[in-house]
Amino acid sequence: MWGQGDRGQINGTVTDGSGAVVPGAQISAIQKTTNTAYKTVSSSAGVYSLPGLSIGEYRVSIEKDGFKNYAANDVQVTPGGSTTVNAVLQIGASTQSIEVTRSPR
Cβ 53 vs Cβ 78: under 8 Å? no
Per-residue model confidence (pLDDT) at position 48: 98
Per-residue model confidence (pLDDT) at position 104: 52
Residue 81 CB coordination number (10 Å):
13
Specify the CATH number of the domain 7-101.
Answer: 2.60.40.1120
Phi, psi of 57 (to 5 degrees): -100, 135
Q: Is the pLDDT of residue 3 over 70?
A: no
Per-residue model confidence (pLDDT) at position 1: 41
Quote the percentage of the chain above a pLDDT of 70.
85
Residue 5 CB coordination number (10 Å):
9
Q: What is the pLDDT of residues 6-56, one digit of tens each?
A: 899 999 999 999 999 999 999 999 999 999 999 999 999 999 999 999 999
Q: Is the pLDDT of residue 103 over 70?
A: no
Chain centroid offset of residue 45 CA: 15
Per-residue model confidence (pLDDT) at position 28: 98
Going by the DSSP 8-state scheme, the letter that residue 92 receives in this structure is S
User: What are the E-state strand segments in the chain?
Assistant: 7-16, 26-31, 37-41, 47-54, 56-63, 69-77, 82-84, 87-89, 97-101
